[in-house]
Amino acid sequence: MSAGWQSGPNDAITDVRGIRVGHWTDRRAATGCTVIRCDEATFVAVDTRGGAPGTRETEVLGPANIVRRAHAIVLTGGSAFGLASATGVMRYLSEQGVGFPTTAMRVPIVPAAVLYDLGLGKPDAFPGAEEGYVAARRAKAGKVEQGSVGAGTGATVAKLLGMEHALKGGLGTASVAGPRGFIVGAIVATNAVGGVSDPDTGRVLAGPRAEKGRFVPLPVAMERRTAQMDALLENTVVICVATNAALDHHQVQRLAIQAHDGLARTVFPAHTFGDGDVAFAIAMGQVPAKPDDATVLGMMTTRAVERAIISSIRQATTLAGVPSAGDFIASSSRR
């Protein structure tokens, strides 16, 4: 990390105690799903900024509603079809006795958000209930596999000029350690229409492919776009952040909002009509927080998302004919 910022021991969202992550991956079909378990969360919030979101059970997290928590979050490929994976996660959690208490039984609350990956591998293959069940069963603390795995398996980026110029996106995670033991972690599946840059240096990490390992500059790409390209509503960055801070729900809602700042600082353009950008935020309630800690926690959230997105690009691998940014640059340098 750059000077002044520290990460947690795993540099992952699992550095927040009580957070566990599991993947289901199908590289042949270029799709997958990722489950973030947060059984003991105190509050969970969501903020949707993209114009074409695909979500499940997000209204229950609204500040005017009674539940405002969840037991797992699902990030999944498969477009709207992939929402079925949350059913399997519910089944697994129910078997473990995890859920919101009701008079009859505990009901697991499992919000989900999707990305569109149907055009990369097999369009009729997507995560369903069984795949979600497997991902939930695999969820664990510690190191988190990144790159072309889970929800990031079929992700692509830099699609301003169409798929023939695209690069591989993926799944990334990171954490930021702050004062008095605060930790904020993020996990992101990056499937953006836009390119990705490092906000610290301004360096473009992924843009529409040009010749000789170079990227088409953004102003040039915008001039070359056609009406057909503008009609493609097949992009999304889905985000989940978590903190060990003890926060009220309205403060957690603010973290979900500020997670989008990290997206906007690394992906451009973001939050378009063709994106389904969604951010979840989880508070585990382990470290007491004062009202004025909200500012530093927001900064940590933005930073964690930035670093998770960058990691999703750097860890991605070539798949289904779409090169990773690293492979594209390396192969061009050998010519």
pLDDT digits (tens, 9 = 90+) for 312-335: 999 999 999 999 999 998 876 555
pLDDT at 317: 97
Report d(CA 196, CA 209) in Å as an integer.
Answer: 13
Question: What does residue 321 show for φ and ψ, rounded to 5 degrees?
Answer: 85, -5
What pTM, to 2 d.p., does this model score? 0.95
Report d(CA 2, CA 6) in Å as an integer.
Answer: 8
Strands 112-114 and 72-76: parallel
Question: What does residue 223 show for φ and ψ, rounded to 5 degrees?
Answer: -70, -30
pLDDT at 334: 53
pLDDT at 5: 76
pLDDT at 329: 86
Residues of the chain with pLDDT under 70: 1-4, 226-233, 332-335
